[in-house]
Amino acid sequence: MVYKMLVSDLDETLLNDDGTVHEANLAAIKQAVAARFKFVPNTGRSFKSVQELLKTLGLYDQAGQYVISYNGAAIVENKDNQVLLTRGMDLALAEKIFKAGLVNETVDVHVYTVDTLFIYNISPTDKQYMAERGVPYELMATDDLAFLVNEQPVMKVIFEHPDEAVREQIRDAVLAAVGADQVEATFSSSRYVEFNKKGVDKGSASLLLGEKLGIARDEIIAAGDNNNDLKMLTAVGLGVSVANGIPAIKEAADVVTTKTNNEGAIAEILEKYVL
């Protein structure tokens, strides 16, 4: 099989734990892209927050190269950050998710629009995490989302908490409030529980981008490590878990790398299947 595109998660997959890019990954990506291969960051983050990374990878402001953002809620061409597709939720649903997930006073909440990340009740650990990765955001002074009426649609709503039991409590509370048929609920980075509109995920977005580019499902590789990568790995032709992936991802993957994110796992994939 000749593979034409790799869609890759960022944190704990492409990136080292400190947010940098392993030299082996950088070299392999640049070599593959030079051969007209598509390397597509497929992330829960905003496309605006990955611009420095795109510069590092040589993909910044490049026509014909793309980013999938917000767990599949937006597809953006890197040239002029042209938003090609959005699949957001309406404000009423976002408000229900937001209210239901505030299970205690230690929970912080991210609300993403196409252009801006708003954070309510930001925790010290989340503040540090955002700073380390250079993610821009605006603080919310209250839990009233009415100001978003001119900002909608909302791409996703996520909650941050270091305690897994609290994250599970948040998931259960939101699903009880809005219905499991209304949202996609996933976990990521051992700190977030994320909610997208039902049907919006990294996998379906990968196939939509492939369709736009004339790339078949079987010609796409996906790489990830965590719960929000699951549908991406199972949607494409070759799903790869990095060595540090959680057990459920390793089980679902077609292949598990021998290297972790800190050891150049993406380079291992590209060298074996593309270069």
Q: Are residues 39 and 60 in the same domain?
A: yes
Among 148, 181, 197, the domain boundary falls at 197
Average pLDDT over residues 172-181: 97
Let me know whether 231 and 267 are in one domain.
yes
Query: CATH number, domain at 55?
Result: 3.40.50.1000
Confidence (pLDDT) at 20: 95
pLDDT tens per residue across span 201-257:
999 999 999 999 999 999 999 999 999 999 999 999 999 999 999 999 999 999 999
Pair 124, 156 in one domain: yes
8 Å CB contact between 24 and 267: yes
- Residue 247 backbone zone (phi > 0: left; psi -120 to 50: alpha; other: beta): alpha
Statement to judge: residues 82 and 139 lie in one domain: no
> What CATH number is given to the structural domain containing 190?
3.30.1240.10
Read off the pLDDT of residues 10-34 as tens digits, 9 standing for 90 and up: 999 999 999 999 999 999 999 999 9
pTM exceeds 0.85: yes
User: Within this chain, do residues 73 and 96 fall inside the same structural domain, yes or no?
Assistant: no
Q: Do 133 and 213 sit in the same domain of this protein?
A: no
pLDDT for position 1 = 87
CA 206, chain centre distance (Å)? 12
Confidence (pLDDT) at 130 = 86
Q: Are 202 and 69 in contact (CB under 8 A)?
A: no
Residue ranges making up the domain that contains 211: 5-86+200-274
CB 234 within 8 A of CB 255: no
User: Mean pLDDT, to the nearest integer, of 43-59?
Assistant: 94
Same domain as 96, residue 162: yes
Verify that 193 and 107 share a domain, yes or no. yes
CA dihedral 161, 140, 20, 85 (to 10 degrees): 100
CA–CA distance, 240 with 110 (Å, rounded to integer): 28
Query: Do 176 and 48 fall within a single domain?
Result: no
**Do residues 44 and 67 share a domain?**
yes
For residues 53 and 107, state if they share a domain.
Answer: no
Work out how many domains the chain is built from and give that number: 2
What is the per-residue pLDDT across 99-150, written as a single tens digit (0 to 9) for each? 999 999 999 999 999 989 999 999 998 999 888 888 889 999 999 999 999 8
Strand order in the sheet with 108-113: 138-140, 117-120, 108-113, 154-160, 192-197, 183-188
Give Cα 93 distance to the centre of its chain. Answer: 21
Q: Give the pLDDT confidence score for residue 129 in this predicted structure.
A: 84
Q: Which of 173, 196, 174, 176 is nearest to 184 (CA)?
A: 196
pLDDT (0 to 100) of residue 136: 87
pLDDT at site 199: 95
Q: Which domain-ending residue is among 138, 163, 197?
A: 197
Last residue of a domain, one of 145, 178, 197: 197
Same structural domain, 253 and 225 = yes
